[in-house]
Amino acid sequence: MARLRHLQERKAMVAASLEMNRLGINQGTSGNLGVRVAGGFLVTPTGVPAAALEPGLMVEMDFAGRFAGDVLPSSEWRFHRDILAERSDANAVVHCHAMFATTLAILGREIPPIHYMIAAAGGPNIRCAPYARYGTQELSDHALAALEGRKACLLANHGMIAIGPTLARALWLAVEVETLAAQYWRALQAGVPKLLSKTEIAAVVESFGGYGQQPRITAKRRR
């Protein structure tokens, strides 16, 4: 058998899928991942539980939506493609139906600036994209619009998307979004959440660095 192209990326996607289950942000086979490779992207296959994933099951696609082989890509390949095509700051896309993010998405609510960590998603809120049926171009269009100037969004009556320069960063952000959603949900049960100002969040975005990341610890500083 010919050697698999992009073996490292494929292995990382299998590991990240298992990690999503371990973290409890994945429900059944609902989560999926997209990772940029030369000339296109890899996407997780449709309908395969994380425990049964293998590097060879990741589907390589081009930006025209074509793929070879008999493994079908995730039904959400369109938004993976469109995000990776449109966003030069993203090399990975994480999608899942995490419980609290999805709960807010069912209410059609965005996450406002309840905590400074919202800046990790790039701005003072995490928007909720309007509902469109799974797998459709309409859903992808709504997601891209909700992600403008952001690295994460909710999808109404569906779930969430987090993007990043690496798969590890996108997965980290997905967990942060779910944490913020859980905190917001809990605060709503007890009263009216106090919000941070746009100015304050802008300052935190700035301090996280131009891309809303943690300040980089250089090899020199680590020693």
Catalytic residue positions?
A: 76
Q: Which residue is nearest to Zn ion (CB)?
A: 159
Number of residues in contact with Zn ion under rule CB under 5 A = 1
Q: How far is the CB of 160 from Zn ion (least distance, A)?
A: 9
Q: How far is the CB of 212 from Zn ion (least distance, A)?
A: 24
Locate all alpha helices (DSSP H) within 53-196, ordered by sequence.
Answer: 77-86, 99-106, 137-146, 167-190
Cβ neighbours for 77, distance < 8 A, ≥ 6 positions apart: 34, 43, 59, 61, 65
Q: How far is the CB of 118 from Zn ion (least distance, A)?
A: 22
Nearer to Zn ion by Cβ, of 119 and 181: the residue is 181
Q: How far is the CB of 103 from Zn ion (least distance, A)?
A: 15
Question: CA-CA distance, 61 to 174, in Å (whole number)?
Answer: 23
Nearer to Zn ion by Cβ, of 42 and 93: the residue is 93
Nearest to 14 by CA among 37, 28, 35, 39: 35
User: Where does residue 168 rank: exposed (0-12), middle (13-18), buried (19+ CB within 10 A)?
Assistant: middle
Question: CB–CB of 73/46 below 8 Å?
Answer: yes
Question: CB–CB of 152/174 below 8 Å?
Answer: yes
Q: Which stretch binds Zn ion (CB under 5 A): 19-27, 64-72, 155-163, 194-202?
A: 155-163
Where in 156-215 is the site for Zn ion (CB under 5 A)?
Answer: 159
Question: CA-CA distance, 14 to 31, in Å (whole number)?
Answer: 12
Nearer to Zn ion by Cβ, of 31 and 40: the residue is 31
Q: How far is the CB of 72 from Zn ion (least distance, A)?
A: 15
Question: CA-CA distance, 49 to 43, in Å (whole number)?
Answer: 14
Nearer to Zn ion by Cβ, of 155 and 180: the residue is 155
Nearer to Zn ion by Cβ, of 94 and 119: the residue is 94
Q: Which stretch binds Zn ion (CB under 5 A): 46-54, 101-109, 151-159, 160-168?
A: 151-159
- The binding site for Zn ion (CB under 5 A) comprises 159
